Structure 1
Amino acid sequence: MSDKTSYTTRFSYASADVGGQLVFCFISFYLLKFYTDVYGIAAATAGTIMFAAKFIDALDAPIWGIIFERTNSKWGRSRPWFLWLSGPFAVFGALTFVTPELTTNAKIAYAAVTYVIVNVLYTGINTPVTAILSSLTANPNERVVLTCWRMFGSKLGVLIVNLSALPIVAWLGGGDDRKGFMLTVPIYAAAAVLLFLMAFRNLKEVVKVESPPQGALSGFGALKGNWPWWLIFFSSFAFWIAFISRVSAAPYFFEYTLGRKDLVPTAFALDFISLGTVFMLPWFCRLTSKKNVWALGLAGMLVGQLLVAWGLAQGNSVPVIMTGWAIGFLASGAAMAMPFSVLSDSVDYGEWKTGIRAPGLLAAIGAAFCLKAGAGLGGATPGWILGACGYQPNVAQTDAVLRGIELSVVWLPAIFLVLAVVPVLFYGKYERMEPQIRAELEKRRAHAIT
């Protein structure tokens, strides 16, 4: 039987991430500025909301993981969650951008509650996208291919939002951004539901491992001695702090530092060029190791950050800054995709090492927790910095605020990109063990069947 997946599987796997990004991209790229400039919440308060919500959401990731591991349905472990959670996720994604007329404290409470719930639901629906990968194929190389398709879906969703969202907000709002966001986000949320249902219909969990009954917490045993998973965890956590800080502060950077608010859609749409590295990942990984591709992606993002800093030093040179911005996004394709790919390999390592296969739990903590906790810190820190510097929306900013914006866009991401590279340098040892692990697992499963 061939390990090669069908194009139906590949397209459907990609569709799940298109659906997720149609809502989550709105939140990651625009919510901080929406809170401060549209809904009238103070920058520091908005940052605290985002941090607190992500902290709560990060804590629920292991709970989701336990739930996923104990899911036993006719559709499998991961697949049914696309059906069950797509509707609630879409509803609360839309409610996050509704702006009821409330007192200041009530506004804060409403923003916090809706933001917490949509993030909890995103963990619930996005973690199975990661967890199901180890069940779609047992071939590590084919997993890289599927990850490329998933990243294509993710970047396509981001591109759609960044090219169309603000123009549609302006068109439907007629100059009223509150009305514009309230009418626009439900359109994308409805599309997300349809795409998740496509993934539910077409994806099949073909790698089935029969496990003895386990206690609710037994899946945590797969973390014991699972060093490749821990390396992925620490690198991914630092990466998401860097990435989300960069994009959260970008609207302020282009509007106030460069005086080019018109460049915001273009700057965000450049994320799509990361597919230039994503689609080359299978070839890159054959040419060299997955470790090297992963590390070079992070290093390329760091080079992009330094180019942006150099452009600022050259009198805010827009060509230099946009070149650095583009290089950062191009390199982010490898930096973002590789952890999702190798995470499924760490599931195999955990099974080989401990006898416990826990794809849902390892994906929930290794991917969802890192994304949410990292995004929480990455999104909150610029808000805190701007609040400490005295940011006021829709006015000329002081030198202190401009320095805070530069810190948030350039130097904070650069520091965490350096921290993200360090664990990757130790991953090669475990990558070289993959053929041995796969062969031994196949023997164990064959023996268990007989």
Structure 2
Amino acid sequence: MSSARLSIIEKIGFGMGDAGNNMTFAAVVMYLSYFYTDVYGISPAVVGTIFLSMRFVDAVTDPLMGALADKTRSRWGRFRPYLLFMPVPLSAACVLMFTTPDWSGTAKIAYAFATYFAMSLLYTAVNIPYCALGGVITSDHRERVSCQSYRFILVGIAYLILNSGLMPLVQWLGDGNEAQGFQSAMLIMSLIALAMFAFCFTTVKERIQPPKTQQEGLLVTLKALAKNEKWLIILGITFLQALQFFLRQGAAIYFATYVLKLDATGISAFVTLGVIGKIAGTALSTWFSHRISKRSVFMASTCALILTSVLLYMTPGSFVVLATILFVLINFTHGIGTPISWALMADAEDYGEWKTGTRNTGVAFAGNLFFLKLGLALSGGMIGFLLSWGGYQAGVEQQSDAALTAISIMLTLIPAAISFVLGIALWFFGLDDKAMDQIRRDLESRKDVNDTTETAAPTDSALSPS
């Protein structure tokens, strides 16, 4: 499988695609709520309605986009064309989304709905093909982990750029006018994203193609995917991984503010060190995976995440340095598992082709992204519910013991419990490196025997993946 190895430039190029995605998406996750309520001037209830309504739209648009990408045929491949043509309208939509028109209340709400929906649909049109690209640029499952590691290192760097640069740019470019500042700052971030997308498109190649005799159509694709039990398990893994991560990420600022009692500089340092810890774990993920089965590495890092989360819960708020070290370690262990989880998505697709004779990369990754978005949406709801349950009061210097407990368990025990279920799902997933090596040999042998005729798929008993 040496021919499936990728150059450093191509790995960096692949990672640049998601860095470009996150130059805009991270702004949505971290700043759009604040922009809508404090700058744009609409109520939190309306903001929540805008965000939640798009998830229902995603349930329809995500699989449709995946099916469209799977059917695409061009000189650039199935997925790369979307990295060429869609980033420009996506960038324009992001700038418009952070633009404040001088309109009446009803018109402004309609504008917010329209621009957020446009941005979300265009983001889907870029991100689903991009994620599917990770499953077709190499057939080597170990190289996939390496490729995803580069991806999430660059995503972490994009987060650091956005987190450290956006608000200073807003203040500088706006000169006291936050509305103008956000619009101008997002224009700069969008231009940086366009350069990243262009680098990705020009350096990455598609190498894996679906069987030539494969039937097309969304219904046929969904039936084939339903027969792939590994893909169904991966959906659960994706959901659980996203849920525990976004829940912890959302609780971090509350924890730093009210449990550790840090000032603005300390809060920024706490969050930034967590990001750096995640980048470090991601960077070492490939090293571990080349020496131990990546599934075993993922399970071990999950166990370590659970342990450090429990230790952080037991650490008094006055032990700021120890709490920060444990928070960094939690993010470090999460970073180890992140690229592996995305590599396992591609492994599940290889398994599906091996088992059913069909390859449905676009729709398969669309399903994973939809479950990731579900994890994001549910984590937001859980944060609001748990803060309300604890009697949290915005703006007060000292929260009640119940509120502090709610904040602490959001950061530690609840993500640990979710990670425990994630570990069980990983055990049931079953496919280790030895099994994946055999699957790739079988798939390559079929293509060597007859590149145009679909061969009979073997039975599950041919492998002992666990």
Q: Which moved more, 1:405-414 or 1:205-214?
A: 405-414
Aligned to 2:184: 183
Aligned to 2:69: 68
2:281–2:331 Cα contact (<8 Å) kept: no
For residues 246 and 35 of structure 1, do their structure 2 counterparts lie closer, same or farther at Cα, with a shift above 3 Å needed? farther
Q: 2:297 aligns with which of 289, 293, 300?
A: 293
- Calculate the TM-score normalised by the size of structure 1: 0.89
Higher relative contact order (CA 8 A, sep 6+): 1
The one-letter code matched in structure 1 to 2:85 is W
Aligned to 1:280: 284
Aligned to 1:341: 343
- Give secondary structure in 2 for the equivalent of 1:137: coil
The one-letter code matched in structure 2 to 1:263 is G
For residues 179 and 246 of structure 1, do their structure 2 counterparts lie closer, same or farther at Cα, with a shift above 3 Å needed? farther
Q: Which moved more, 1:294-303 or 1:60-69?
A: 294-303
For residues 34 and 410 of structure 1, do their structure 2 counterparts lie closer, same or farther at Cα, with a shift above 3 Å needed? farther
Query: Is residue 260 from structure 1 mapped to residue 263 from structure 2 by the alignment?
Result: yes
Deviation, 1:99, is: 3.7
Q: 2:228 aligns with which of 223, 226, 229?
A: 226
Aligned to 1:170: 171
For residues 185 and 401 of structure 1, do their structure 2 counterparts lie closer, same or farther at Cα, with a shift above 3 Å needed? farther
- Calculate the TM-score normalised by the size of structure 2: 0.86
For residues 395 and 56 of structure 1, do their structure 2 counterparts lie closer, same or farther at Cα, with a shift above 3 Å needed? farther
Deviation, 1:436, is: 1.9
- Give secondary structure in 2 for the equivalent of 1:135: coil
Aligned to 1:443: 445
Q: After superposition, what is the alpha-carbon deviation per residue over 1:303-332, rounded to whole angstroms, capped at 9, x for unaligned? A: 343344234xx2443223322221121112
RMSD: 2.8
Q: After superposition, what is the alpha-carbon deviation per residue over 1:124-149, rounded to whole angstroms, capped at 9, x for unaligned? A: 21222221123211111222221121
1:51–1:379 Cα contact (<8 Å) kept: no
Superposition pairs of residues 50-449 of structure 1, within 5 angstroms: 50-100=51-101, 108-212=109-213, 213-257=215-259, 258-270=261-273, 271-311=275-315, 314-366=316-368, 368-386=369-387, 394=395, 396=397, 398-399=399-400, 404-429=406-431, 431-449=433-451
- Give secondary structure in 1 for the equivalent of 2:450: helix
1:47–1:384 Cα contact (<8 Å) kept: no
2:211–2:357 Cα contact (<8 Å) kept: no
Q: Measure the CA separation in 2 of the matches of 1:292 and 1:111.
A: 45
Q: Structure 1 regions of 5+ residues with no counterpart?
A: none
For residues 200 and 415 of structure 1, do their structure 2 counterparts lie closer, same or farther at Cα, with a shift above 3 Å needed? same
Q: Measure the CA separation in 2 of the matches of 1:418 and 1:106.
A: 47
Q: Measure the CA separation in 2 of the matches of 1:44 and 1:410.
A: 28
Q: Measure the CA separation in 2 of the matches of 1:261 and 1:380.
A: 26
Q: Measure the CA separation in 1 of the matches of 2:440 and 2:371.
A: 26
Q: Measure the CA separation in 2 of the matches of 1:36 and 1:253.
A: 23
Q: After superposition, what is the alpha-carbon deviation per residue over 1:340-362, rounded to whole angstroms, capped at 9, x for unaligned? A: 11111111111111111111111
2:393–2:399 Cα contact (<8 Å) kept: no
Q: Which moved more, 1:399-408 or 1:282-291?
A: 399-408
Q: Structure 2 regions of 5+ residues with no counterpart?
A: 453-466
Q: After superposition, what is the alpha-carbon deviation per residue over 1:41-92, rounded to whole angstroms, capped at 9, x for unaligned? A: 5555544443332343244211111111111111110100101210122122
Deviation, 1:182, is: 2.5
Q: After superposition, what is the alpha-carbon deviation per residue over 1:228-274, rounded to whole angstroms, capped at 9, x for unaligned? A: 22222101101112211222343344345525232343233231332
1:47–1:379 Cα contact (<8 Å) kept: no
Deviation, 1:293, is: 1.3
The one-letter code matched in structure 2 to 1:260 is D
Considering only CA atoms, is the larger Rg found in Structure 1 or Structure 2?
Answer: 2
